[in-house]
Amino acid sequence: QVQLVESGGGAVQAGGSLRLSCEVSGYIYNKNCVAWFRQAPGQEREGVASFYTGTETTYYADSVKGRFTISKDDAHNNTRYLQMNSLTPEDTAKYYCAASPGPCRWNWWDQNEYRIWGQGTQVTVSS
């Protein structure tokens, strides 16, 4: 059974940085798509970034381009990271990682594309 466990959330001031981790346990195919989503209270879940291990292709939401970086642990294929820099209060949300076998599709930002989800980690950015 595949499980995803997020960590690394916390509270930071605007302009600060955090690195989130998503540890994948269980077999999910060597080539898979892992994405980060976030959801603020009262808002819909938003796709933030995705990473396909087959080609190391990445996708980002416009709201985070140039500030966030998604990557994988080169030593261990079972960990994905989301490096978040220049954080603003608008980045405050619960962040989730999600996974799906095979390439990230064109609609990687659509939560319905992913069958496996973690429990989330809270990120709070104060002004």
∠ CA(104), CA(4), CA(49), 5° rounding? 35
Cβ contact 122:94 at 8 Å: yes
Cα–Cα distance between 101 and 108 in angstroms, integer? 12
Q: Strand 10-13 relative to strand 46-52: parallel, antiparallel, unpaired? A: unpaired
Q: What pLDDT is attached to residue 1?
A: 79
Cα–Cα distance between 20 and 28 in angstroms, integer? 20
- Residues in contact with 8: Cβ distance below 8 Å, sequence separation at least 6, in sequence order: 18, 19, 20, 21, 121
Q: How far is CA 70 from CA 19, 53, 66, 127, in A?
A: 10, 11, 11, 25
- Note the pLDDT tens digit of each residue in 25-82: 877 667 789 999 999 999 999 999 999 988 889 999 999 999 999 998 877 668 899 9
pLDDT at 84 over 80: yes
